[in-house]
Amino acid sequence: MVSRLIEVGDFDLVIFGATGDLARRKILPGLFRRHAAGQFPAASRIIGAARSDMDTEGYRREARDAIAEFGPRDADEAQIASFLDCLAYVAIDVTGERGWSELGALMRPDVVQAFYFSVAPALFGDIAERLARHAIAGPDARIVVEKPFGRDLASARALNATLARHFEERQIYRIDHYLGKETVQNLMAVRFANMLFEPLWNVHYIDHVQITVAETVGVAGRGAYYDQSGAMRDMVQNHLMQLVCLIAMEPPWHFDPDAVRDEKLKVIRALEPVPPGDIVRGQYAAEDGDPGYRDDVENPDSRTESFVALKLRIANWRWQGVPFYLRTGKRLRDRTSEIAVVFREPPHLIFDDHAEQQANQLVIRLQPNEGMNLRVNIKEPGPGGMRLVQVPLDMSFAEALGKEGRDMPDAYERLITDVIRGNQTLFMRGDEVEAAWAWADPIIAAWENASAAPESYDPGTSGPDQALGLMHRDGRRWREIKA
Ligand code: NAD
């Protein structure tokens, strides 16, 4: 597999929040990798903007540290030096007046302009307004905003309205980094570039879909933020919803931003409300001296969920009667993210010894070891009876790409490059985000009004027993949580 590199146009990229955690861990290392790969023209510029008093040399030192810590192991000194040459820094107060004229003076009007809002969402309005007032952003400038995009429908609408005062939808790039994952894009390739799956991709051949995003870590360190959010807002409304959309959407007429996003929006609009009996929320308990969720968030009465499992129904011709089971949580058995499309059993089994025959599954692994495998039943090799065994047809992308000596690209690398190219396909449109909140709001509101607390679960397990019951009562089973 030989990768094709197409250089992007000249650009000025401003990172607001340039000294923050996200900039250090993801944005700068991602930009460095693309630069080192030769994708950025020599004249492109990355301008850090944050509150800290620092000059460009100081910021270059910070960026060097970030690359050493979070960049590629084999980073070449000449490549690092050439990347650092592209960096500049402006000390700015996004809620005040300091720094804006310096930033304006640095920006070139005749190149692609992108502004990455890597700050708390409460500051988005301040930045958008000042970019407009100081005439810093040209008519084709792009802005990139991070999650969380609202905490309910009303706040998401307000945020969209704030951005819309100064930018058109075609200029707004709402990041959901799950969409930048290689496997997630491959899901579209597998579905829409092959004849093999699409004819089977419906209620007649698919029994159910299960999506698991499991983490082993708790919320220690970001407890104050997390306790105001919870798994539903932090994971389900955005990341898991995007995965549901890509599995369930109709083929778009073209791989084009609005064509893809129109189809995703139709899926979200077709989601049925989730009855209380189809949803389980949980909180990890303390164990063997390890703190539980309530200790981690320092709130002994917290009713925020660190785990959610739910059964989703999509009311349209393709999916009527095919449940989508979703679960995500912290302090679970293993760190793994996967989608499993579980096919129906053959209508008639001809082999006597068919005890081992299992339904086919297409398993799409997002982490670890991104890849897909299709589980098929074959005859167990060797003499003797006709015994069946299920084996995976494995498509491990890391292995395939690894042979060429290439790392798997990080989601941020891909997404930031798309911003510079002006391709919104892998970014969420405003109406999509609002539709997802319109679906999630009643569930969250019901929890807030309920007297019951989330179910407790032991760390290192698959979550509360009730989540297992959600599938057992339908005669189905979750796949094991295993990396
Ligand atoms: P952070 O607190 O580490 O950094 C915040 C940055 O904003 C700093 O550079 C700070 O100087 C700057 N800032 C704050 N107030 C400012 C002001 N008045 N003027 C100028 N600069 C100001 O935050 P973070 O973790 O980097 O997160 C940034 C955004 O990305 C948030 O919206 C967060 O929700 C989102 N996000 C972060 C992560 C992550 O892994 N850190 C993941 C997903 C989304």
Q: What is the mean pLDDT of residues 350-354?
A: 73
Which residue has 């491990």 as its token pair? 396
Q: pLDDT at position 311, please?
A: 98
Q: Are 39 and 417 in contact (CB under 8 A)?
A: yes
Residue 9: count other Cβ atoms within 10 Å of its Cβ.
12
Measured between its terminal Cα atoms, the distance across the chain in Å is: 26
Q: How would you label 197-207 residue by residue, b for 16+ Cβ within 10 Å and e otherwise?
A: eeeebeeeebb
Question: What residue numbers does the annotated binding site for substrate cover?
Answer: 177, 181, 215, 234, 330
Mutate to test the pocket of ligand 1, among 15, 16, 22 (most ligand atoms within 8 A of CB): 22
pLDDT confidence bin for 404, thresholds 50/70/90: very low
What confidence tens digit (pLDDT) does each residue in 45-72 have? 999 999 999 999 999 999 999 999 999 9
pLDDT confidence bin for 396, thresholds 50/70/90: confident
Query: Hey, what amino acid is at 30?
Result: G
**Which residues, including other chains, have CB under 8 Å from residue 159's CB and lie 6 or more apart?**
121, 124, 125, 149, 150
Q: Are 266 and 249 in contact (CB under 8 A)?
A: yes
Q: pLDDT at position 82, please?
A: 96
**Positive or negative CA dihedral for 153, 158, 161, 163?**
negative
Q: Which atom of ligand 1 is nearest to the CA of 95?
A: 18
The chain-wide mean pLDDT, for the chain, equals 93
Q: With a cut of 50, say whether residue 403 has pLDDT above it.
A: no
Q: Which of 35, 166, 208, 239 is catalytic?
A: 239
CA dist 341 and 338 (Å) reads: 10
Q: pLDDT at position 358, please?
A: 87
Q: How would you label 358-393 residue by residue, b for 16+ Cβ within 10 Å and e otherwise?
A: bbbbbbbbbeeebbbbbbebeeeeeeeeeebeeeee
Q: pLDDT at position 385, please?
A: 78
Q: With a cut of 80, say whether residue 1 has pLDDT above it.
A: no
Q: What is the mean pLDDT of residues 99-109?
A: 96
| Active site (annotated) includes residue 354 | no
- Residue 124 to residues 93, 127, 175, Cα–Cα distance (Å): 13, 5, 14
Mutate to test the pocket of ligand 1, among 14, 16, 19, 119 (most ligand atoms within 8 A of CB): 119
Q: Residue 368, preceding bond cis, omega within 30 degrees?
A: yes
Q: What is the mean pLDDT of residues 340-362?
A: 85
Q: What is the mean pLDDT of residues 176-188?
A: 91
Dump the DSSP string for 123-166.
Answer: GHHHHHHHHHHTT-S-TT-EEEEPSP--SSHHHHHHHHHHHHTT
Where does ligand 1 bind, in terms of residues with CB under 6 Å?
17-23, 50-52, 92-95, 118-121, 146-148
**Which residues, including other chains, have CB under 8 Å from residue 61's CB and lie 6 or more apart?**
none
Q: Are 371 and 394 in contact (CB under 8 A)?
A: yes
What confidence tens digit (pLDDT) does each residue in 460-479 have? 999 999 999 999 999 999 99
Q: Which atom of ligand 1 is nearest to the CA of 225?
A: 34
Nearest 5°: phi and psi at 396?
Answer: -95, 115
Give the CA count within 13 Å in the CB-facing half-sphere of 210: 21
Domains of the chain: 11-146 (3.40.50.720), 179-411+429-473 (3.30.360.10)
Q: Which of helix, strand or coil describes residue 208?
A: strand
Residue 193: count other Cβ atoms within 10 Å of its Cβ.
11
What confidence tens digit (pLDDT) does each residue in 203-262 have? 999 999 999 999 999 998 889 999 999 999 999 999 999 999 999 999 999 999 999 999
- Tokens representing 337? 């993210």
C-alpha angle 450-446-473 in degrees, rounded to nearest 5: 90
pLDDT confidence bin for 320, thresholds 50/70/90: very high
pLDDT confidence bin for 405, thresholds 50/70/90: very low
Q: What is the mean pLDDT of residues 96-107?
A: 96
pLDDT confidence bin for 3, thresholds 50/70/90: low
